[in-house]
Structure 1
Amino acid sequence: MVNSDVQLLIHGKNIADFDVLIPNKNVELKSVNKVANKNYLFLNLTISKNATPGNVIIKFTKGKESFKYVYELKPKPQRAQNGQAVTSEDVIYLITPDRFANGDITNDSTDDTLEKVDRYNENGRHGGDLQGVLDNLAYIEELGATTIWLNPVLENDQPAYSYHGYGISDFYKTDTRFGTNEDYKKIVDVSHKKGMKVIMDQVFNHCGSGHWWMNDLPSKDWLNQWDTFTRSNFTNIASSDPYVSSDDYELLTRGWFDKNLPDLNLENTFLETYMIQNSIWWVTYAGIDGIRLDTYPYPNKHAMSKWMKALTAEYPGFYMVAETWAERASYLSYWNNDKPNRDGYTPHVSSISDYALYYSIIRAFGKDGDVSELYKTLAEDFVYGNAANNKVFNGNHDVDRLLALLDENVDKLKLSMVFTLTTRGIPQIYYGDEILMKNKRPDGKVRQDFPGGWKNDKRNAFTKEGRTVEEEAVFNYIKTILNWRKTASSIHNGKLTHYQPRDNVYVYFRYTETENTMIIINNSNKNYNDFDLKRFEKSLKGYNGGKDIINDKLIDNLDHIAISKNSALIIELTK
């Protein structure tokens, strides 16, 4: 590894009473650190650049009592060194694994976890697993998404509400109800063979109350603890607010997300190192292509900055998207900034979740909405270090389904997809939106089962035959755009020029030196048989025609064009 130092957490009854020796010329035991709890030791090792893969013996001695532990040094996989970057060429498909497909019914309930399967409970485990994702990679591939992001699949040994994955009880172990570490790695391997990528959902802010260390904490400051249960204020902007009160800041960064989600204290340097090493280990072990970091503004931000620097030192250019839930671009720019903020903090984040644009999408295409919302939000891109890295989305696992928010107007859903998939940034869509899932919260309803993912389902929407006529039409609409987008360099790397919307019609261009794509979004109830394009002649200069990729029609007149109400055109321009 680039960083030759490694910290080992050692846990055992009164292990602090033992002396430690590593008789290996290529592994130096730099320090043995004791903490308040005698059941823990933290060993700091330096691995020589001359070290080779193999077993390292760690000797523990107390008087006449002694034992050995075999610690294995493994080679750094070539695949991990050359990990694929997630870029604006990609489209991310977000999956809640427990609700996607049940590929292995034998692991629906397991002996080593508390909560058992109960598909009739909207907050319970439904049995979806990694094999279910593997079984349906071809569906995602057909749709045209290039990257999958799974909500966390690590062990969540909680008595209830464990399906979502964010109450992790072992940061190194895949939940047995999902599969094994090897199964997770297999998803990455198979995805890579298909030319697809995988983003891992990681959590630094909290763990689950069922984590093994909760019964025997290394030290009191391993967690952010209060005299009585104190919940976070969930005010993301408190982390960047120059006028924030210490009370508000403390509540954000030290308050607990929930009673069953203890807040991790990353100001504890042993824990900070543990989490950073865990993250790097997963990249190296599984060969993942990116990380989505949950609740990014909540933990100690200096620890998060250190994590990003450590990660990119090992894997330069590695993709990391921060969950940054704030409604304004100015708030978000604190995390996507190419220079130190005024308080001296530099985030080193490669991508943020563009909630400002998400809310604009919902306002624009919701009831009585106006596409000027999109125009005005994009006009604020000057505040970012690199807006092209923002993750753009029109739905996820934490909000009402897209169709529900758009008053079940399918035309508006299609318009939101056109915008999401052609504007600047890295687009992400949520599983099931392509087949018109429409539930509203609570969360368990939004994260609904994909029809056909379970053996006895009445229909299988993974297949054409299992989709309704309307579902099939929307699936094919999105599929057409996604598969065209795979080779659309104007969308991948092109600049953006947009024109102030008039009469709820938004026109913009994505272009490089050699390619130009015009997008027209008619968000109005007016049909245009003769929409005048003269206003856009500077952007159309040098082009005399094009192809509407949605309807597969050639266009030979760039003076006027026909566009129906509540519809869009994506026109690849030709000279």
Structure 2
Amino acid sequence: MLQYRQINEINFEALTNRTFHPSPGAWEDQVLYFLLLDRFSDGHEQGFLSNAGEIVHSGTTPVFAPSDAENAVQTASEAETWRVAGRRFAGGTLKGLQSKMGYLKRLGVTVVRISPVLKQAHAQETYTGDGIQNFLDVEPRFGTPEAFREVVETAHTYGLYVILDIILNHVGDVFVYQSGQPNYHQGDLPHPVMGYRDQHGNPSLPFKPVDLTKRPDAWPDGAVWPADFQEPSTFSQKGAIRASATASERIEGDVASLKNIHHGHGCGANYHPAPALKALCEVYKFWMAYADLDGYRIDPAYLLDPGAIRYFTGVLKEFAAGIGKENFYLISELTGERQQVCETLEQIGLDAASGIDNLPEKFASVVKGYRNPTDYFHLFRHSEAIGKGSHTWFRNRFVTGFDDSNSMGKDKTRFCADPDASPQLLAAVGLLATTLGIPCLYYGTEQGFDGQGDEHSVREALFGGDFGAFRSRQRHFFREDHPTFQAIARILALRKQHLALRRGRQYLRPISGDGIHFGLPTLPGDPLRSVVPWSRLFNRQEIVCAINSDPDSEQTAWVTIDHELHRPGTLLTCLYSTLPAQVQSTTRVEVRNGRAILLTVPPGGFVIYA
């Protein structure tokens, strides 16, 4: 067990005197899978396939059947119990995750992105992992540091990489203001603090470095650890961010009751890091080496000073290169338009961004026919305006996804929350997997989860427990025979097989109903009901993909393809379709708008031709 109370107790020389798992050569080849550790697996499931692919007969939680839906909400009292359970720790563990690496491998993902695992403020229900109280220990409800390291080792054994979500912006609710939790205020004077919380959550500890000879009860569940963070100057002490927050308020203010860390001051290369930022660098260097991690997803960059991120990424990248992880990946959420995000990435040293230009919303709306397809596809186009050449595409700079609880807007809703949209889920996955960017699946998507409401409602427990999906309890969802799981596995296998689907240039293609008049699919009213096709081109190979934004009827259209790569009369073959009978069928290249093929896409479906 780790028992570090100060950062200087870490022996980095001994920690790094070994060979580490190499970084991926190309992150655009990867498929991420984001899971909330508390909601993924508790290791007590029965009847799932082990990592080796064998049926596990031990365990106490049976597999979910359709008749189990709503079994937790039969009465108003039961429904309230289920909702309350969703706001608390549900019971997912590192050992549970370790036992599901085979499940993830067979799904076809290649990177496991895990929510924060570090020790949380005692007796608080921060199951998402963002209420850290000890940066050098693992939350006991999740397991031990050794169990965390074993998770990463097992992932590597199965050919999977691991990215850990980390927190730089704040600690947990580890101290109490004299006036409760005040709102943010400008000015140099901080809000007065009553004291650090003790192991019972009471502010009985002095707001200064802890003297364990006088207060031995402060370890391990009181104040904040390691001791390097206990100086009052660690914290901004400005109060909670308001709804109408300015940029400076978001950087300096508390996120609700989570206490903001002061990182330093200055701009760009002249940024002066505070001791707390230097300590955070050491902390995350430690976990990179201790657990042999492959990347970090940093809490949203819009909550952090650009100079602080630049300093942090520089230190972490240098350390990673020194232990042989030349392509250790750093990701964060950045808001704003594409050009602004790309410029920011260059300035602060991040490798990739998620959430760019409201990407998740645009993505889902294109699939459902409520936006022009160009709104999504133009996010990835090359542009001289931002200094990129004609063959440069943003294939490894943007993390794409949907159904992520951190980027669903005010009303949290999974894609399948709308029953009318559920048949289009595979079209969404197909668009995600075969367009530019690094795709990231959100846990439960492969089982068709349909949560909606607040942020808790879209964080259903895959292992069931008291807060299972589909308003159920005590039923798990590790069903590899589920049609959605199997279809996603086939799509991801094709992505892995064809380099063009991972690295190729990308073109939204013009369509025609009569084979004479062509144009890009465009929203004529509301909604668009059409074939939406795109091509991926790589080294004289073209693969044509298409979705149908009409969930009720098949749609047929002529689709323009590259006239230099295809001779009239040659055939393209269907590699995948949401209508299995269509697979291996062919379509003939004709001289229309240069070159074109006739595509029929099933209702709300997805096809791949090559």
TM over 0.5: yes
Q: Secondary structure at the match of 1:333?
A: helix
Distance 1:396 1:527, change over 3 A: closer
- TM-superposed CA distance for 1:401, in Å, is 3.7
2:280 corresponds to 1:262: no
CA displacement, residues 395-444 of structure 1 (integer Å, 9 cap, x when unaligned) = 21223343256555123222211111111111001000111111113222
Shift in CA distance, 101/10, structure 1 to aligned 2, threshold 3 Å: closer
CA distance in 2, matches of 1:262, 1:218: 12
Letter of the structure 2 residue corresponding to residue 434 of structure 1: E
Query: CA separation in 2, counterparts of 1:529 and 1:97?
Result: 41
**2:36 alignment counterpart:** 96
Name the amino acid aligned to 2:329: M
Structural mapping, 1:313-324, within 5 Å: 313-316=318-321, 317-324=326-333
Relative distance call for 1:329 and 1:402 in structure 2 (3 A) is: farther
Q: For residues 453 and 178 of structure 1, what CA distance do their matches in structure 2 show?
A: 15
Partners of 2:423 and 2:551 within 8 A in 1: no
Q: Does the C-alpha gap of structure 1 residues 137 and 458 become closer, same or farther in structure 2, counting only changes over 3 Å?
A: same
Q: How far did residue 231 of structure 1 move?
A: 1.8
Pick aligned residue for 1:420 from 415, 432, 437: 432
Q: Does 1:476 align with 2:495?
A: no
Distance 1:561 1:122, change over 3 A: closer
Cα distance in 1 for residues equivalent to 2:147 and 2:588: 53
Residue identity matched to 1:419: L
Aligned to 1:62: none
Name the counterpart of 2:364: 362
Letter in 1 for 2:248: E
Deviation at 1:173, TM superposition (A): 0.8
Structure 2 CA distance for partners of 1:123 and 1:392, relative to 1, 3 Å: same
Q: Aligned pair in 2 of structure 1 residues 85, 420: CA closer, same or farther (>3 Å)?
A: same
How many angstroms apart in 2 are the aligned matches of 1:149 and 1:290? 9
Check the 8 A contact 2:500/2:538 in 1, yes or no: yes
Counterparts of 1:118 and 1:179, CA distance in 2: 25
Corresponding position of 1:403: 415
Aligned to 1:149: 113
Q: Contact 2:164–2:293 (CA<8 Å) still a contact in 1?
A: yes
User: Aligned match of 1:87 in 16, 27, 35?
Assistant: 27
CA distance 1:353–1:86, change in 2 (3 Å): farther
Q: Does 1:301 align with 2:339?
A: no
1:109-148, CA deviations, whole angstroms, 9 ceiling, x for partnerless residues? Answer: xxxxxxxx99952211111111111122221112111111
Q: What is residue 136 of structure 1 aligned with on the other side?
A: 100
Assess if the C-alpha contact under 8 Å between 2:424 and 2:551 holds in 1: no
Alignment of structure 1 residues 144-543 onto 2, 5 Å: 144-210=108-174, 212-214=222-224, 218-226=230-238, 229-231=239-241, 248-259=246-257, 261-267=258-264, 269-316=274-321, 317-326=326-335, 328-337=337-346, 346-356=347-357, 357-366=359-368, 368-379=370-381, 383=386, 387-389=394-396, 390-398=398-406, 399=408, 400-404=412-416, 408-451=420-463, 459-464=475-480, 472-500=482-510, 501-502=520-521, 504-524=530-550, 531-533=557-559, 535-538=560-563, 540-541=565-566
SS in 1 for 2:42: coil
Secondary structure of the corresponding residue to residue 541 of structure 1: coil
Percentage identity across aligned positions?
17
2:573 aligned residue: 546
Q: CA deviation at 1:232?
A: 5.5
Indicate the larger mover: 424-433 or 156-165: 156-165
Query: Does the 8 Å contact 1:545/1:555 carry over to 2?
Result: yes
Aligned-residue offset at 1:481: 0.4
Q: Paired residue for 1:19?
A: none
Cα RMSD, aligned residues only: 3.2
Contact 1:80 1:283 in 2 (8 A): no
Which residue is 2:598 aligned to?
560
State the AA in 1 paired with 2:492: L
**Deviation of the 1:191 alpha carbon:** 0.8
Q: Partners in 1 of 2:91 and 2:160 — Cα distance?
A: 25
What TM-score comes out, normalization by structure 1 length? 0.74
Change (3 A) 1:324 1:234: farther
CA–CA distance in structure 1, aligned partners of residues 351 and 436 of structure 2: 15
Relative to structure 1, the CA distance from residue 156 to residue 360 in structure 2 (aligned partners, 3 Å threshold; closer, same or farther) is same
| Alpha carbons 2:531, 2:556 under 8 Å: kept | no
Residue identity matched to 1:461:
F
Structure 1 position 168, deviation (Å): 0.8
AA partner of residue 347 (structure 1): I
C-alpha displacement of 1:83: 3.5
Residue type of the alignment partner of 1:144: G
Q: Give the superposition deviation at 1:194.
A: 0.6
If each structure's strand is expressed as a fraction of its own residues, which one has the higher value?
A: 1
C-alpha contact (below 8 Å) 2:313/2:330 kept by paired residues: no
In 2, the alpha carbon distance for the partners of 1:497 and 1:507 equals 9
The separation in 1 between residues aligned to 2:297 and 2:242, in whole angstroms, is 21
Partner of 2:14: 74
Shift in Å at residue 85 of structure 1? 5.4
Unaligned residue ranges in structure 2 (runs of 5+): 46-80, 175-220, 265-272, 511-519, 523-529, 590-596
* Distance change >3 Å, CA 499–CA 70, structure 1 → 2: closer
Larger RCO of the pair (alpha carbons < 8 Å, separation 6+): 2
The Cα shift of 1:512 comes to 1.3
Deviation at 1:363, TM superposition (A): 2.1
Question: Is the contact made by 1:233 and 1:255 (CA closer than 8 Å) also made in structure 2?
Answer: no
Residues 522, 563 of structure 1: 8 Å contact kept = yes
Corresponding residue pairs, total: 468
Preserved contact between residue 153 and residue 165 of structure 1 (Cα < 8 Å): yes
**TM superposition shift of 1:328:** 3.1
